[in-house]
Amino acid sequence: MDNNTIQKESKLDNKLDNKLEKQDINLNEIMRKIDSDTVNKISLLNNNKSDICSHDVCNIMKHGVNEFTEKTGRNMTYSEIRRIFG
């Protein structure tokens, strides 16, 4: 390989790394927002009702999953679900 080819490959690698880094930051922001929204909704539900049923909590979680899918174009992984919803 000549030096020019190596430089081109290095530039492509850097562009790919930068793109993946931006995607990770965006994904973390999306997950943080869903987590925060979920906690806020559960807190409001807890303040308004003395007895929270699992159906209410499941609906809040489904909303978060749907928001994630809408914003990322893919389903959550198991580890992402655990990270957001515990």
Report d(CA 37, CA 32) in Å as an integer: 9
pTM (2 d.p.) = 0.70
Annotate 47-77 with DSSP letters as a single string. Answer: HH-SS--HHHHHHHHHHHHHHHHHHHSSPPP
Q: Which of 8-12, 45-49, 54-58, 75-79 has the lowest mean pLDDT?
A: 8-12
Asked if 65 contacts 76 with a C-beta cutoff of 8 angstroms, the reply is yes
Task: For 24-63, write each residue's pLDDT tens digit.
Answer: 778 899 999 999 999 999 888 888 766 778 898 999 999 9
Residue 14 maps to a domain: no
Pick from 43, 78, 73: nearest CA to 60: 43
Residue 80 maps to a domain: yes
Residue 79 maps to a domain: yes
- Structural domain boundaries, residue 72: 52-86
